Amino acid sequence: MKPDLFEAPDYYNLDDLLSEEHKLVRDAARDWVKRDVSPIIEDAAQKAEFPKSIIGGLAEIGAFGPYIPEEYGGAGLDQISYGLIMQEIERGDSGVRSTASVQSSLVMYPIWKYGSEEQRQKYLPKLASGEWMGSFGLTEPDHGSNPGGMTTNFKDVGDHYLLNGAKLWISNSPFCDVAVVWAKNEEGRIHGLIVERGMEGFSTPETHNKWSLRASATGELIFQDVKVPKENLLPNKSGLGAPLGCLDSARYGIAWGAIGAAMDCYDTALRYAKERIQFGKPIGAFQLQQKKLAEMITEITKAQLLAFRLGQLKNEDKATSAQISMAKRNNVEIAIKIAREARQILGGMGITGEYSIMRHMMNLESVITYEGTHDIHLLITGLDITGLNAFK
């Protein structure tokens, strides 16, 4: 792969709106990605291997629980810092950002928000340091966009619960130490349970042959009469709103992360367009290529402003689920379009692993699907503005 020459576009001087702490956090993540992710990520993706060697670095830059209080091992940062970290990581690779998103927003967040003090003390510091890795089991083979239909269930059998069912498409599952699993009790009410590797009847087979997120490990969570101790139930929230609340936090991170992938594609295409000569001129001198680049920087700038404003609202605890949904949908959509256009600017070179664009483009096919598909997010906005539910 080519050396990482990334220079971040900032067309509207967004840096002027960032605090010194935001810039320090962002720059530390940016430097780490250049030093420790870019040199190895193409190889990991080609081999379809999650590079476990980066776990320590992710913990060091505060990517595991950026906004979780320091008393639990988190970085105690604000939401804009969290977003900037996700942006920088996804600039390197969406799969690496997935690992961080799941650990922070889908595993640490529910334990912090819905867990007991004992659960917080037991799990959060180890998750923040990367000593333990987590996964989040909501999706099932027959219930993706409609998680409320889930059939994974648990029964109270006296001194423990008995958990049965299966989850599919679970990031980090093949190597997770703990899984936050959503299942229905005998009354059909959804609860979160912390399942630990080693519990009898719990297995995590890997899903192979993906063309997307190849540097992220994806798999199943299978539960066959798993005895889950009663103290592993998350006590402070139940119902579908509990897992959906975690998704709000992860979708927010993706809204920033997708900008990172878009920035990398744009920056690569811009450099290439200025250097590549055809018909005696740099291809960047042709109007058609300038149109592509001009549209890319415009969409990136709009996405940056959307994410920044959403971060302010999140910091004030005022961001609605529908606002988060819009930012996730828009920013992933512009990123995937930019990746496709950037790929064309590179011509044949664009399909090779010499450049990051094709990897971003394939990764973004997952990002536009998980955490709510593009269509589901359109319907969330549709419901919010009309008051009419078009899901069912």
Q: Quick one: CA dihedral 336, 341, 342, 344, positive or negative?
A: positive
Binding site for ligand TGC (CB under 6 A): 98, 101-102, 136, 138-139, 145, 147-148, 171, 239-241, 244-245, 247-248, 250, 321, 370-372, 376, 380, 391
Q: Which is nearer to ligand TGC, 44 or 273 (CB)?
A: 44
241 binds, among ligand FAD, ligand TGC, none (CB under 5 to 8 A by kind): ligand TGC
C-alpha count within 13 angstroms, C-beta hemisphere, residue 15:
10
Contact flag: residue 102 with ligand FAD (CB under 6 A):
yes
Size of the site for ligand FAD (CB under 6 A): 21
Contact flag: residue 138 with ligand FAD (CB under 6 A):
yes
Which among 60-68, 184-192, 288-296, 373-381 is the span making contact with ligand FAD, rule CB under 6 A?
A: 373-381
**Smallest distance from the beta carbon of 171 to ligand FAD, in angstroms?**
4
**Smallest distance from the beta carbon of 51 to ligand FAD, in angstroms?**
16
Judge whether 90 counts as a catalytic residue.
no
211 binds, among ligand TGC, ligand FAD, none (CB under 5 to 8 A by kind): none
239 binds, among ligand TGC, ligand FAD, none (CB under 5 to 8 A by kind): ligand TGC
72 binds, among ligand TGC, ligand FAD, none (CB under 5 to 8 A by kind): none
Binding ligand FAD (rule: CB under 6 A), the pick from 27, 71, 231, 375 is 375
Question: Which among 42, 88, 341, 371 is annotated as catalytic?
Answer: 371
148 binds, among ligand TGC, ligand FAD, none (CB under 5 to 8 A by kind): ligand TGC
Contact flag: residue 203 with ligand FAD (CB under 6 A):
no
Question: What residues are annotated to the active site?
Answer: 371
Q: Which residues bind ligand FAD (CB under 6 A)?
A: 102, 136-139, 144-145, 169-171, 213, 218, 366, 369-371, 373, 375-376, 379, 391
